[in-house]
Amino acid sequence: MAAVESSLPPGTPSAMRNAFGTVLSALILVLIGVLAFSIRLFSVIKYESVIHEFDPYFNYRVTQFLSKNGIYEFWNWFDDRTWYPLGRVIGGTVYPGLTLTAGTIWWVLNSINIPLSVETVCVFTAPVFSAFASWATYLLTKEVKGSGAGLAAAALLAMVPSYISRSVAGSYDNEAVAIFALIFTFYLYIKTLNTGSLFYATLNAIAYFYMVCSWGGYTFIINLIPMHVLLCIVTGRYSPRLYIAYAPLVVLGTLLAALVPVVGFNAVLTSEHFASFLVFIIIHVVALVYYIKGILTPKMFKVAVTLVVSIGLVVCLIVVAVLVALVASSPTGGWSGRSLSLLDPTYASKYIPIIASVSEHQPPTWPSYFMDINVLAFLVPAGIIACFSPLSDASSFVVLYIVMSVYFSGVMVRLMLVLAPAACIMSGIALSQAFDVFTGSIKYQLSSNSKDDAEDNTTTKNAPKDDAASGKTDKGEEVAKERSSKKGKKKEREPADKPSVKSKIVKKKALVLPLETSIVALLLLIMLGAFYVIHCVWAAAEAYSAPSIVLTSKSHDGLHVFDDFRESYAWLSHNTDVDDKVASWWDYGYQTTAMANRTVIVDNNTWNNTHIATVGTAMSSPEKAAWEIFNSLDVKYVLVVFGGVIGYPSDDINKFLWMVRIGGGVFPHIKEADYLRDGQYRIDSEATPTMLNCLMYKLCYYRFVETDGKGYDRVRRTEIGKKHFKLTHFEEVFTSHHWMVRIYKLKPQKNRIRGRAKKLKLKTSSGVSSKSAKKNPWM
């Protein structure tokens, strides 16, 4: 925008218009920021200012630690309250970007005497960063197709449901800041590519560093940018600007990435990063070729080309051989499980149940796209085509971005989040182009009808319009207007595109559509946009705002609130000893440590499969064997989540098969088939004896029959199979108001003498069981 103004002499009408445009688009950007922030506040309004779900509780706990103890303590933090008895080195295993960001915000606010609590800062970090992300989208799209498209894309991103789902107030997770970092890194890359400025290249490396700090998804960047560079080279678009955009990023970026403890030497050792190094070598070879081409005569160059190509090939082959050797020496080929399941989508379901078990790692069906990017799904193809006419370095990058992200989103529903910005950019470009054409046609037809003067067209068409008042058409106006300034800018910046742009302007005189159909098309587009807005507001309000720590349900007699989780965690923190160990399935680990401040065995950071499998085995074993396992882990309380009374479907009984699978993956005596009747998972009278006797069944359904006299499970919609039974090794100590959380205490060991004779006999038994058998008084 500044470039446009400086290029025009001040005082002329068009300079005035541009100044007005700058102010107007700044105002619109502020409004977009407000929109992005406020649409994410539904969760606070409908529920309360509370941290959501599971992972955010861990981040919140880390932030609390950081704000209390300072950064050095945080860096060296060894957490002994989780993964008992192993513990976890938090400083070295966590992406610190989010925590440091929120910690910094809290520190700045406090030092200027705004006394917000850490929790408040954490709750509102995500909405604030969504505003930043939409501004970054504006910048990125402006670099690609001008500020009109930029504004449209920013407005779309501000309310795209996919992004809302991960960034509502209270959803304090890595993705909240990472999407901003992702878009901003891409913007700086494109900016460097367009300007060839080392300043932006350095900023780009720093933005990449921030991204590496924030999210494991940074590997998407470090593979996408090399791919784009390679694409540019292959299609003959190499330029010194490309070199400046890429080489500093690889060198500085890799060095900086290695500074993050959780990445460390992975930045140079794992296959995810090899593509960037390979392209780094290729771009040097190509740069050399271009340099030699410049200093030699064409004839000499032909001779030289053979030489250089052969040397370059040899170097490449050697490097490839080294890489292959390195990759082959590691068991998974140097790829992490999650990345492998992207390349070979069937990988995870075959080999890694713990990845396959997470619902956000499932492949999406078509309704997911409609839910998460809504009408953008219709507009993206038009955006792709718009990017091809004409194709520039920048537009080829966004095309590559959408293609890669849409493919990856097809493999894992979680990566829909990476697709969302790309879809917004593409749709912004498409909308901007469509509004440009339609409003231009209307303007042309109207003015030619009234004046019958064909020569006046170009100027009137490029002038800003001031009809129509709805929000969408506001954008349309912008689109029409800003495209003219874009053309001016492009002319001076990209000499390569000059002829095509110029010819387009000349041709544009005749590029109009009939008046009536243009108006209808415009109206339909506005309706489409209105539908998008309604959908997004609805999705933000209804679908994505539930904190999942407090549940509500509406029935004919009003609103019911289920606050059982906090009730139980509060019970734990008030009624148990501070050093007691609580066992539960890993989903509730973070919440237990953060809210109840009790030591847990496993948590949502699923780094140790064996440990999780141990808990899974305990849950799937009969009472006695489970007691042994838990006792060997010093567990004092077992917590299960049960939804059968109120119909809460994501309870432990529904997750139970995964416990069996994960447990059976490490301890083969747990077999999934034992829990299934003819391949069907059931808990009614047809259920297998193994199922009816396992700990999870007993802990969930203990005394359940007392609730209604029949034992009718409202989630499974059936009467349970075994209704009256007693617990021998566990005793119930707490059941929450709606029975959603039930806490049991392990019964203490009885007098040792009683079982002594039998115990001696059992010493011959092998493995884990013999170890724990020593402690078991009942055998």
Partner 1 sequence: MAINKKLLSLLLLVSSLSSIALSSSSFSDPDSDSDLTNELVSLRSNSESGVIHLDDHGISKFLISSPTPRPYSILVFFDATQLHSKTELRLQELRREFHLLSATFLAANNNGSDLNKLFFCEIEFSQSQSSFKRFNVNALPHIRLVTASTSKLTDESGQMDQSDFSRLAESMAEFVEQRTKLTVGPIQRPPLLSKPQISVIVAMIVVAAPFVVKRILRGETLLHDHRLWLSGAIFVYFFSVAGTMHNIIRKMPMFLQDRNDPNKLVFFYQGSGMQLGAEGFAVGFLYTVVGLLLAFVTNVLVRVGNVNVQRLVMLVALVVSSWAVKQVVYLDNWKTGYGIHPYWPSSWQ
The stretch near partner 1 (CB under 8 A) out of 367-375, 463-471, 565-573, 733-741 is 367-375
Nearer to partner 1, 427 or 631 (CB): 427
For the segment 490-519, give every residue that binds partner 1 (CB under 8 A): 507, 510-514, 516-518
- Does 358 bind partner 1 (CB under 8 A)? Our answer is no
Written as six digits, the tokens of 170 are 């209270």
The stretch near partner 1 (CB under 8 A) out of 82-90, 489-497, 532-540, 556-564 is 532-540
- Tell me how far apart the alpha carbons of residues 494 and 500 are, in angstroms, rounded to a whole number: 11
Q: Which of 199, 291, 388, 607 binds partner 1 (CB under 8 A)?
A: 388
- For residue 173, the minimal CB distance to partner 1 (Å) is 24
For the segment 634-673, give every residue that binds partner 1 (CB under 8 A): 673
- Tell me how far apart the alpha carbons of residues 682 and 663 are, in angstroms, rounded to a whole number: 19
- Does 12 bind partner 1 (CB under 8 A)? Our answer is no
Written as six digits, the tokens of 256 are 């900086």
Nearer to partner 1, 375 or 417 (CB): 375
- Does 310 bind partner 1 (CB under 8 A)? Our answer is yes
Nearer to partner 1, 368 or 604 (CB): 368
Nearer to partner 1, 525 or 613 (CB): 525
For the segment 392-421, give every residue that binds partner 1 (CB under 8 A): 399, 402-403, 406-407, 409-411
CA dihedral 419, 421, 422, 424 (to 10 degrees): 120
Q: Give one word for 556, left, alpha or beta, with left for phi > 0 and alpha for psi -120 to 50.
A: alpha
- Does 470 bind partner 1 (CB under 8 A)? Our answer is no
Nearer to partner 1, 130 or 518 (CB): 518
- For residue 224, the minimal CB distance to partner 1 (Å) is 14
CB 214 within 8 A of CB 100: no
- Of 511, 476, 420, 434, nearest to 217 by C-alpha is 420
- Does 526 bind partner 1 (CB under 8 A)? Our answer is no
- Does 541 bind partner 1 (CB under 8 A)? Our answer is yes
Checking DSSP bridges between strand 599-600 and strand 635-641, what pairing results, if any?
Answer: unpaired
- Tell me how far apart the alpha carbons of residues 703 and 735 are, in angstroms, rounded to a whole number: 11
Site string for partner 1, 267-306 (x = CB under 8 A): ----------------------x---------------xx
- Does 537 bind partner 1 (CB under 8 A)? Our answer is yes
Written as six digits, the tokens of 424 are 């917004």
Query: Which residue type sits at 551?
Result: L
- For residue 137, the minimal CB distance to partner 1 (Å) is 19
Report the largest interatomic distance among the alpha carbons of the chain, rounded to a whole angstrom: 112
- For residue 75, the minimal CB distance to partner 1 (Å) is 40
CB 532 within 8 A of CB 375: yes
The neighbouring-strand residues paired with 745 are: 637, 731
For the segment 545-584, give every residue that binds partner 1 (CB under 8 A): none
Residues 6+ apart with CB under 8 A from 556: none
Half-sphere exposure of 598 (CA within 13 A, CB side): 28
- Tell me how far apart the alpha carbons of residues 211 and 547 are, in angstroms, rounded to a whole number: 26
Half-sphere exposure of 480 (CA within 13 A, CB side): 25
Q: Which of 155, 190, 250, 430 binds partner 1 (CB under 8 A)?
A: 430
The stretch near partner 1 (CB under 8 A) out of 103-111, 309-317, 575-583, 608-616 is 309-317
- For residue 147, the minimal CB distance to partner 1 (Å) is 19
Tell me 680's DSSP state: B
- Tell me how far apart the alpha carbons of residues 647 and 154 are, in angstroms, rounded to a whole number: 40
The stretch near partner 1 (CB under 8 A) out of 84-92, 127-135, 381-389, 656-664 is 381-389
Q: Which of 89, 309, 324, 454 binds partner 1 (CB under 8 A)?
A: 309
Written as six digits, the tokens of 568 are 């139980």
The stretch near partner 1 (CB under 8 A) out of 47-55, 64-72, 366-374, 692-700 is 366-374
Task: Please work out, in degrees rounded to the nearest 5, the angle formed at the alpha carbon of residue 425 by the alpha carbons of 419 and 429.
Answer: 140
Q: Give one word for 739, left, alpha or beta, with left for phi > 0 and alpha for psi -120 to 50.
A: left
Q: Which of 240, 381, 499, 647 binds partner 1 (CB under 8 A)?
A: 381
- Does 371 bind partner 1 (CB under 8 A)? Our answer is yes
DSSP one-letter string for 615-629: HHHHHHSBHHHHHHH
Q: Which of 234, 324, 446, 506 binds partner 1 (CB under 8 A)?
A: 234
The stretch near partner 1 (CB under 8 A) out of 150-158, 174-182, 229-237, 615-623 is 229-237
